[in-house]
Amino acid sequence: MKARTGSYLTRHGGWFALGLALVGMLLWMLWLRPQPASPDLARYSPREALVFIEAGSLPDGLRRLEELSFWKDLKSAIGTPGQFEDVLHGGRLIEWFDIGPAEARLLARARWGLIVTGITAEVTPPPAAAPSDTPGSNPGKPAAPPSAEGATLDVTPQLTLCLATGLSGAELTSLAQERLPLVARRLLGPDPQRSDHADAGGQVLCFRSPARPEATLWAATRGDLLFLANHEAALRACLDVADGRRPPLAGVPAFEDARQTVQGQSSWLFAFINPAGLEAALRLRQGLPGAGGTISANGQEQSLLTALLTGLSNGLGYSLDVQAGQVVERYHLALHPNIVAALRPHLRPALATPRVERFLPPTGGLTAVGLAQPLTALDQVQLALAARSPAPVAFLSRELVVGLRERYGIRPQEALDDFLGEQWLVVDPGRRTPTALILGVPVRDRTRLLPTLDRYLRADGASIANLSLGATGIPLAASTHRDGRAACFLDDWLFLGERSALEQTLPQAVDGAPPQPVRSTWHGTPDAFLHRVNQPREDLERATLALIALTRAGEATPSRLGEPAIRRAIERQPPATGYLQLRDDGCFGEMRSPLGNLAYLTSLFDSQ
């Protein structure tokens, strides 16, 4: 018996030891092998960058996609092919074991950063009319100069894509030389012109479109970092930071505070907007600058609007992650202490009750805000801003407040706060245009508001027509103003908005229950001054078609949304809910939803 046992161990002991060694090696590679530290891409962004965005690796993002309840409900409904799962598993193996071709390892392990250092905006006038040769006209007479109406605003961000690839410098240089011409042809068209430029830290490549000389692709490497930019100045700014010639964004107190507050280092995506970046967004939203110009990151040339925003805030932080099957988005708007002190006495807990929920549209959103004495609060914020700003900024802020009062027919020094309540509403009918929003003003004394309301409706010489909302009989005052403004009283609110939006939304709320009952509690904290709930059906439908195209799960046509299984998967999702609260350092908010802003990321993919 002993001899047999010894013979068995002799025959099989080697295989047993080999198996243990393989298992031990696998455990070491998966759990015990030291993992490289996640790179801080803010170390390569200029301190004055308008916008900074960083995201984790693609496999990391796909892992989060798999954790979404929406994806778990949807993938069987659309019939996701097995090849998609194979791609996910293959990406994980490459990421874990760091094996495979350099290109595959880059795609599996790279961390992505997007840095906007400037925005160029140019207004293209409409084409001039041809000379008139009709009877009774002067043949060959020059056309009238083009008007501003019909002009287009062309916006070009100066941006740099920074990839921390995890490859060796030699591997990355070789891969860039091989693949960048293919990337340039895809972005710029056939036969892009290549030129090499000298640089203190290495070679800089430039590809230029022959048809559009302004369309360029600039590229450079630094160690395992790959920089791709659409403008030379954007690339040089990031290279100067990487080479130590310019201070980085990392380490700036406002940036680090924002990243810590929104948990940016542990989230899949983090973004930070400087006050200069906020200025750029506002100016472009208003169609400025008039005849074209550049909004740059030059801190020495601040406009009045930059100074105004700097006097209010140190920046906006944002993060996106997946928790418990939902997308969690966090926001933090840093406010200066005097601004917080001016706001705190006027903010109240927002009440999210069934009485409020009945105004939730089937495809839109509803926001409840707790705000007492809004006109006094506005004046206090303006005074707090003026106290720490130069005279031009103080003047500009006061004019903005005056203009806002005039917009709603409120005369200077007119006292209305005592006649207004504390629970405000903003109803979004789902049209995705700011002018379609409906404002619900809490009212304590209707008669005292009537003169102000009359001035608002009769602005610019408009007249008023007295109507009623459908079968409900709710009195509606409709103005002939060009923006279609109208107003009506309902319960304790005065509702202001476009006539069509009011006619679409308010009759449904008279029944006493929301068309789509809120199937989950409002997400928030007891001291939140703002609560929001939103029905994301349109976003989910758009994302469904994008995911069908991305996973090659058949034709991504709108008719697929009518399939019973897909429709059930979409309608099963809860509404998006969130809140805002005032803290000592500013406003912090959180939103939980089935998809969140991932809907916009998935929309980048199409059937091609």
Are both 285 and 366 inside the same structural domain? Answer: no
Please give the pLDDT value at position 167: 85
Length of the chain: 608
Query: What is the gyration radius of the CA atoms in the chain, in angstroms?
Result: 29
Band (pLDDT 50/70/90 cuts) for residue 426 is: very high
**Which of 283, 336, 284 lies closest to 313, judged by CA?**
336
Q: Which residues of 484-523 are buried (b: 16+ CB within 10 A; e: fewer)?
A: bbbbbbbeebbbbbbbebbbbbbebbeeeebebebeeebb
Please give the pLDDT value at position 446: 92
* Nearest-angstrom CA–CA distance, 569 and 229: 40
**pLDDT tens-digit profile of 207-216?**
999 888 888 9
- For the chain, the domain total comes to 3
3-state secondary structure 393-443: HHHHHHHHHHHHHHHCCCCCCCCCHHHECCEEEEEECCCCCHHHCEEEEEE
Angle between helices 304-312 and 374-387 (to 10 degrees): 110
Are both 399 and 296 inside the same structural domain? Answer: no
Domain contains 184: yes
Q: Please report, as a single letter, which amino acid is at residue 541.
A: E
Question: In this structure, what is the dihedral angle of CA atoms 101, 103, 108, 111, given to the nearest 10 degrees?
Answer: 140
Are both 254 and 295 inside the same structural domain? Answer: yes
| Local structure of 214: helix, strand or coil | coil
**Which of 263, 277, 223 lies closest to 46, judged by CA?**
277
End residue of a domain, out of 488, 521, 554:
521
Please give the pLDDT value at position 1: 47
Q: Tell me which residue has tokens 């439908």.
A: 541
CB 259 within 8 A of CB 265: yes
Please give the pLDDT value at position 608: 40
What is the DSSP secondary-structure string of 169-199? Answer: HHHHHHHHHHHHHHHHHHHH-SSPEEEEE--
Domain contains 2: no
**pLDDT tens-digit profile of 106-135?**
777 789 999 999 887 666 666 655 555 555
Domain contains 75: no
**Residue 595 pLDDT > 60:** yes
Could you give the percent of the chain with pLDDT greater than 90? 45
Are both 381 and 432 inside the same structural domain? Answer: no
HSE value, Cβ hemisphere, 13 Å, CA-based, for 524: 24
Domain contains 553: no
Domain contains 115: yes
Q: Please report, as a single letter, which amino acid is at residue 109.
A: R
Please give the pLDDT value at position 291: 37
Please give the pLDDT value at position 135: 52
Q: Which domain holds residue 262?
A: 37-57+110-123+152-307
**pLDDT tens-digit profile of 398-412?**
888 888 888 888 888
Are both 203 and 281 inside the same structural domain? Answer: yes
State the alpha helices, DSSP H only, in 68-168: 69-78, 82-97, 102-109
Please give the pLDDT value at position 307: 75
End residue of a domain, out of 498, 521, 544:
521
Please give the pLDDT value at position 11: 54
CB 370 within 8 A of CB 348: yes
Please give the pLDDT value at position 16: 57
**Which of 143, 155, 163, 296 lies closest to 228, judged by CA?**
163
* Nearest-angstrom CA–CA distance, 225 and 172: 8
**Which of 498, 501, 416, 500 lies closest to 451, judged by CA?**
416
* Nearest-angstrom CA–CA distance, 478 and 487: 7
Residue 141 per-residue DSSP state: B
Instruction: Give the H/E segment covering residue 565.
Output: helix 564-571
**Residue 380 pLDDT > 80:** yes
Higher-pLDDT residue of 51 and 307 is 51
* Nearest-angstrom CA–CA distance, 271 and 45: 12
Are both 187 and 159 inside the same structural domain? Answer: yes
**Residue 294 pLDDT > 60:** no
Q: Which residues of 424-439 are buried (b: 16+ CB within 10 A; e: fewer)?
A: bbbbbbbbeeeebbbe
Are both 114 and 260 inside the same structural domain? Answer: yes
Please give the pLDDT value at position 530: 96
Which of 261-270, 431-440, 451-460, 566-575 is the least confident region?
A: 431-440
**Which of 229, 231, 272 lies closest to 42, judged by CA?**
272
Band (pLDDT 50/70/90 cuts) for residue 105 is: confident
**pLDDT tens-digit profile of 140-170?**
545 544 544 556 667 788 999 999 988 888 8
Which CATH number belongs to the domain containing residue 433 in this structure?
3.40.1000
Domain contains 201: yes
**Residue 605 pLDDT > 50:** yes
Are both 292 and 157 inside the same structural domain? Answer: yes
**pLDDT tens-digit profile of 283-292?**
555 444 443 4
Please give the pLDDT value at position 170: 87
**Residue 607 pLDDT > 50:** no
Domain contains 273: yes
Residue 151 per-residue DSSP state: -
Are both 382 and 431 inside the same structural domain? Answer: no
Region 325-335: what's the mean pLDDT?
95
Q: Please report, as a single letter, which amino acid is at residue 307.
A: A
Are both 398 and 511 inside the same structural domain? Answer: no
**C-beta pairs of 429-435 under 8 Å, 24+ apart in sequence:** 429/361, 429/363, 429/364, 429/501, 429/504, 429/505, 430/361, 430/362, 430/363, 430/364, 430/365, 430/535, 430/538, 431/364, 431/501, 435/483, 435/498
Are both 235 and 191 inside the same structural domain? Answer: yes
Average pLDDT, the chain: 81
Please give the pLDDT value at position 254: 92
End residue of a domain, out of 521, 556, 572:
521
**Residue 559 pLDDT > 70:** yes
Calculate the CA 202 to chain-centre distance.
35
**pLDDT tens-digit profile of 543-552?**
999 888 888 8
Domain contains 16: no
Region 366-385: what's the mean pLDDT?
93
Please give the pLDDT value at position 364: 85
Please give the pLDDT value at position 298: 46
Handedness of CA 244, 247, 252, 254 (dihedral sign): negative
> For residue 236, what are its two tokens?
């040089």
Are both 294 and 189 inside the same structural domain? Answer: yes
| Local structure of 591: helix, strand or coil | strand
**pLDDT tens-digit profile of 187-238?**
998 889 999 887 777 789 999 998 888 889 999 999 899 999 999 999 999 9
**Residue 310 pLDDT > 60:** yes
Which of 275-279, 298-302, 416-420, 546-550 is the least confident region?
A: 298-302
* Nearest-angstrom CA–CA distance, 471 and 491: 17
